[in-house]
Amino acid sequence: MTRICSGGFLCKSGRYLFGLRSNNHYFYQDKWDIFGGHVEQNESEEEALVRELEEELGVTPKSYSLFGEFDEPNPEKYGEAKHFLFFITDWSGGEPQNTSTEHSQIRWFTRTELEQIDLASDEYLKLIDEWENKNMHINKGSFQP
């Protein structure tokens, strides 16, 4: 059976929040990853995103949009999955905090800094590039996520 996963890029002042996956979790140990998780039965991708961000970061997304999806990049290790990715530009609950054991640390990165770390998926950089290009075009060069 294919897992359905929902995750989000929190964006603030040209930076993106990532978490270093704990080495006591099965999926993508010691890799920098976005926040999210499995969509539960009778739950939409959006509902899963909100639930996961509340559990992992103590924040509730207020302004977000589905921006992309991709298949599990390592199905031979983790099984088949479809990942739905959102960009979150506003949330309630203050500054995100590491409120679960999923990640050993969290940190804000610029797009350039993300190239220097071990990401769970190369798709993240492609999606960030597409999102930034779309928003720069809309805002005529005044991009400030």
pLDDT in tens, 108-128: 999 999 999 999 888 899 999
CA 64, chain centre distance (Å): 12
Tokens encoding 89: 């530009």
- Domains of the chain are 3-138 (3.90.79.10)
Is residue 26 very low, low, confident or very high in pLDDT (cuts 50, 70, 90)?
A: low
Instruction: Map tokens 């998780």 to a residue.
Output: 37
pLDDT at 139 over 70: no
pLDDT > 90? residue 144: no
User: For the chain, percent helix, then strand, then coil, each to nearest 5?
Assistant: 25, 40, 35
Whether the model pTM is above 0.85: yes
- Could you identify the residue written with the tokens 């506003």? 90
Neighbour count for residue 96 (Cβ, 10 Å)? 20
